[in-house]
Structure 1
Amino acid sequence: MPSGNRICFMIAATLMTAVAPGDDCSEDARTTANSATPGACEELDSERAATTKRISVTIDRGQDTGDSFGSLFEVASTDGSVVIGAGFQNGYNTRYRADRHSLQFFVRPTDGKRSLRTEQLPRPNQLCGTYIYGRDDVVRSTYGGVKAWGSKSNSWKSEREIGGTNESMRVAGKLLTFGDSEVQFDGRTILSRPEQGSYQLFFYANGHLCFYHVNRGGGGYRAYENDAAGFSKLYACPWTYDQPVVDLSTAIVLTLPVVGETTFAWGQLNEQIVTGSNIGGFYVFEEDKWRTLRQPELGVSYQLYSTMIFHDRLLMGQYPTGRVFQYDGAKISDLAGWPPVLDGVSKSAREAQTTAIYGGDVFVGVWPWGELWCYNPDSRAWSFAQRMFDHPELSNKITHPYDLENEGADVPNQWGQRVTSLVPSGPSLFVSTSAKSPCNRDADRFPFLEPDKWKSYGAVYAITMPGHLSAPTTWTDGPTTFEFLVSGAEISMTQDGKEIGSTTLTGQLAERLGSGLRLDKDLNWGQGIYGPFRGKSIQGEVQE
């Protein structure tokens, strides 16, 4: 070892002896430490200062009209090894919308090298499937009764069912709930059931409550003739939380080309609200009118199962390609290789059902082999995270798992494998699975899943990757200040001086942050992976 390196090592060792990690440098401690090694505390203070970053952001979200608030900031380190950012995720996965009031803070390595730890949680039900969503930093399962996950008790707790979708979201700090053809806000009904048909798949954004009104008229999918014979209609109803009810007389309504059209996913891109129908239609609501961007086609598969803002565009999980498409506000484009196809499986009948931002990376769950993929925006590379099922063996001779064993059944592809939900909460990403539908176990009809293989369907996992923190935020009428602290391997968030979340980084990411990391001066306020900030005002500062 060269002599210069040896000297540096000896100094470091002496400092650690004089001032142990975690010791404070009070006056008494400073006197003792400096008598052993003059300047020890001063050098330790300097080292801590070099590794501590405090980013403060004051925002005014304005009136809460259901919008997704977007990014607060994003900044790279001067050496280009990491990117740090924060914002509110704008996503929707096969019915359930991401929590608009949950704030994410990430530290992302630009080389994309990350480690995952997967923990299987107790089952929320005994069905072969479940869907989950997050609200107020609580993960909820909605099939087989609504259950809330308790991390301290390591168990699921039953909650009151809302009815129908069992979906809810916060608007200005109060609860907006979507039930079976009706909507409630803060405990009062603001939209009642229709006289005919049903209201389906509610979405609130840009000050409009949107939904499908479907009356099948006793038949299957078919071209629309007249209302008496059946219809599907899209509604956009102006509404804000200070209004007692939704006034249907003010609704902007579009009658759809196919009777029975409904949706798997809504999305929001700036001033646009979009929805893709189960028959392949794509509809955009903007400037108080609906327009059709893509016509539905009977007999042609084209469905969008998820949407998620990614910088200035909307990513949408598609079937049957299993890829993510993008919408830029004017056109839809197929993104080749987003994500790749797992080696050893068929390229047919694939579905990108779920999308989420976690740790500053993009995660995508793909049917029918339960694949979980990860995309790093800096290296622009996809990596295979893991398969959420350990059976059956991969095969490109069949399209779906257990096609041969289940041949002749009413639903031949029932035992395809879904990644139904991706929900960031705290430091983890919660992942749920299902068969094609969350059915009951039937040992006589499906003996090939006995005795325990059926349990892979309806499982919930907590995946933890260093570099992510999610936390619920409090609604404020007016400005609120968030602080993001990176201190060595510790990251934390506060709102108006109160800590709302913290976690400890590990591995290579912790080593990078502990080595005197400096931030680039080019910090983008209100810009980043979560899309542009959509509140009333934003102002930030950095302390290093």
Structure 2
Amino acid sequence: MTKIFIAAVGFVVFLSTLFAASVRAADDPAALRMTIVVNLGEDLGQNYGSLFEIKNRNGKVVGGAGFEGVYNTTGRGNRRRLQLFVKTPGQPLEYDVKPLPRSTTDAGVYLADFNGRLQAQSASGGKDRQLMAWDGSRWVPDQKHVPFATYVADKVLEVVSPRVLYGGKPILDLTSKEVGIARYYYAGGHLFVRVYGEGVNEIAACPWRPSQSAEIDYASAPKIPMRMPREFIYSYGQLGDDVLAATNTGGVYRFNGQEWRCLVEPIADVSYQVYTMINYYDRLLLGQYPTGNLFEYDGQEVRHLQDQPPVMPGVSSSAREAQTTAIYGGDLYVGVWPWAELWRLDSNSHQWKFSRRMFTHPPLTDSQVHPYEQEATRLGHVLNRWGHRITGLIPLGDSLFVSTSSKGSTPYDPSFGFLNEDDKWKEYGRVYQLTLPGQVSIDTEWKAGPITFEITATSDQLTLRQAGGKSHSARITREMFDALRSGKMTQRSGVYGKFGGKELTVTTKTP
């Protein structure tokens, strides 16, 4: 089996040195503190990657911090969400699982993290599509924001087709061309958009910086025509200077900062769809259909990682889709259709671990590919309509939020009798909060120049704080705390990929 290669390079310092003053002072766990000062540099859409990774004397990862770089089907993850984790290698994981109230009456919901707040919305085909925000106890309508908007520097970037707005003002306006704009991405100082309409279906890399006052000159932007008329973008990702865009018909297109190239040619009548991309150590990983496996891009080519993740025992190996990815607790998570399997890649053993199935019904079977094929066919539906998706994986605070869906977000109807018993239908379009000890995250408040973060650990609590701003705490164990004191740190690399900021220093802070 091909293994995901992990490379770690950087400057090594010992945590025993970082925390020497506090540890020598009567071994007081409450005195264990660290200060991180990071300058993220000019915001050109880069992923900021890893700040550090901590390993024990056996070379096992016991902690780390960084910014996740991920795109899941409907939009880019929050690249300013700083995650901090501590873990104990080899220990079994026991998730605290809490179902949240429903955010929609539709049979599917997708998640986003905007400015540190969880958002939810059903997909096209649904009828209850109000954008909702979680306030910690209930869902409330979010009428201020466009779904899946993102921050660039100090303003919001959003698409209101056929225009792109930054801070509420147009930076790209194609109204006169009678076209639409969809699936945008900002990276490498270029705004990537798909532009479609009568006789046009292309991806453009538009040079743009948030500091410029002039609107984008679309005519001069490097473009690549999509190979098929109905081709559209499912996901974006970046590695180094390269930006990848993947489509529903199997096209994988690369822009290297100067020009476009098609890395994977779409083939008519051959399924090959990439629904998610995530940076993991020194690779960009792509989640694919119909294998349900990950593919990797190393800067040269796209390669299949056979059986990663594997197939849950008892179900078919056909028509599988790795739709969502995330990093939580220092490990990679993947959500797989059509049985809503949640898999975890342990960063120490490099083995895949089955976390859980996000539906309780129906009983597993490999005699059919999707759940409820016979029931759907009897109702005249497409046979995979009531398959099981994991549509969202959002690390936020101390938890991982997971959302579910049927194939689409079409509302449930009581005439679908086979889902009435025990309210089985309510597991579609549901959001769950999964929590483990040792993970905490906060949304970074943007500022030009140095940003300071403070980390405090005791024998039972881990706290991450931005100086003068937000903070969040999580539960940890004494074993996790001890691992912090005895480990060694590698800066600028780790599970979140190479550090993408400008400057980074890690120092002690006197209690």
TM-score, reference length from structure 2 = 0.89
Give yes or no for the alignment of 1:47 onto 2:32.
Answer: no
The verdict on how the C-alpha distance between 1:387 and 1:258 changes in structure 2, with shifts beyond 3 A counting, is same
Post-superposition shift, 1:515?
4.7
* Superimposed CA distance per residue, residues 35-56 of structure 1 (whole angstroms, 9 cap, x where no aligned partner): xxxxxxx99951315x753332
Offset, 1:97: 1.0
Partners of 1:95 and 1:246 lie apart in 2 by 24
- Hey, what's the Cα distance between the residues in 2 that align with 1:326 and 1:515? 35
The residue that corresponds to 1:155 in the other structure is: 138
Output aligned runs, 1:361-510, within 5 Å.
Answer: 361-407=331-377, 409-444=380-415, 446-451=416-421, 452-496=423-467, 498=469, 500-505=471-476, 510=477
Separation in 2 of the partners of 1:321 and 1:82?
30
- The 1-side partners of 2:274 and 2:51 are apart by 28
**Structure 1 stretches lacking a partner, 5+ long:** 1-41, 218-229
Identify the residue that residue 181 of structure 1 maps to in structure 2. 162
Contact map agreement 2:395 2:441 (CA 8 A) in 1:
yes
Residue 333 of structure 1, CA deviation = 1.3
CA distance in 2, matches of 1:513, 1:303: 39
1:515, 1:84 → 2: CA distance? 11
Distance 2:23 2:52 in 1: 31
**Deviation digits for residues 201-241 of structure 1 (CA, Å, limit 9, x no counterpart):** 111111111011123x5xxxxxxxxxxxx332110101111
Paired residue secondary structure (2:219): helix
> How far apart are the structure 2 equivalents of 1:269 and 1:517?
30
**CA distances 1:270-296 after superposition (whole Å, capped 9, x unpaired):** 111101111111100113211111111
| Corresponding residue to 1:212 among 173, 185, 194 | 194
Residue 242 of structure 2 corresponds to: 272
C-alpha contact 1:80 1:110 (8 A) present in aligned 2: no
Provide structure 2 residue ranges, at least 5 long, that are not aligned to the other structure.
Answer: 1-21, 123-128
**Equivalent residue number for residue 185 of structure 2:** 203
Task: State the SS of the aligned residue for 2:87.
Answer: strand
The residue that corresponds to 2:112 in the other structure is: 133
| Structure 1 range deviating more: 139-148 or 402-411 | 402-411
Q: Does 1:242 align with 2:211?
A: yes
Q: Which residue of 2 aligns with 1:513?
A: 480
Give the share of equivalent positions with the same residue, in percent. Answer: 38
- Does the residue aligned with 1:405 lie in a helix, a strand or coil? helix
User: Which segment is superposed worse, 447-456 or 154-163?
Assistant: 154-163
Q: Distance in 2 between matches of 1:167 and 1:293?
A: 27
Residue 123 of structure 1: SS of its match in structure 2? coil
Q: What letter is aligned with 2:205? A: A
Q: CA separation in 2, counterparts of 1:360 and 1:382?
A: 14
8 A contact 2:23–2:31 mirrored in 1: no
Matched, 1:311 2:281: yes
User: In the TM superposition, what are the counterparts of 1:58-97 in structure 2 within 5 Å?
Assistant: 58-78=37-57, 83-97=62-76
1:499 positional shift: 5.3
CA contact (8 A) 2:75 2:183 kept: no
Which secondary structure does the structure 2 equivalent of 1:114 belong to? Answer: coil
Larger-gyration structure (1/2)? 1
| Post-superposition offset of 1:260 | 1.7
How big is each residue's C-alpha offset from its partner over 1:332-377, in whole Å with a ceiling of 9 and x where there is no partner? Answer: 1111221110000000000000000001011110000011111111
Cα distance change on mapping 1:112 and 1:251 into 2, 3 Å: farther
Measure, in 2, the Cα distance between the counterparts of 1:535 and 1:191. 27
* RMSD value, Cα: 2.1
Q: Deviations over 1:156-184 (max 9, x none)?
A: 01011756xx2211111221122333221
Query: Could you tell me whether the CA contact under 8 Å between 1:115 and 1:466 is conserved in 2?
Result: no
Greater relative contact order, per chain length (Cα 8 Å cut-off, separation 6+):
2
Structure 1 residues 402, 261: closer, same or farther in 2, change over 3 A?
Answer: same
User: Any idea what the Cα deviations from partners look like across 1:237-273, whole Å, max 9, x if unmatched?
Assistant: 0111123422213311111221121111111111111
Within the candidate set 305, 319, 325, 2:295 is matched to 325
Kept in 2, the 8 Å contact 1:87–1:105? The answer is yes
Cross-structure match for 1:526: 492
What are the superposed Cα offsets for residues 442-476 of structure 1, whole Å, 9 maximum, x if unpaired?
Answer: 222x2211151111110000000111111011111
Alignment size in residue pairs: 479
Distance between the aligned counterparts of 2:171 and 2:483, measured in 1? 54
Q: Distance in 1 between matches of 2:109 and 2:381?
A: 21
Tell me the distance in 1 between the aligned counterparts of 2:75 and 2:23: 51
1:233 aligned to 2:202?
yes
Kept after mapping to 2: 8 A contact 1:482/1:495:
yes
Aligned partners of 1:327, 1:238: CA distance in 2, in Å?
24
CA contact (8 A) 2:88 2:479 kept: no
Kindly report structure 1 stretches of 4+ aligned residues shifted beyond 4 Å.
42-45, 79-82, 514-517
**Cα displacement string for residues 113-162 of structure 1 (whole angstroms, at most 9, x for unaligned residues):** 221111000000100001011022200012221000011xx110101175
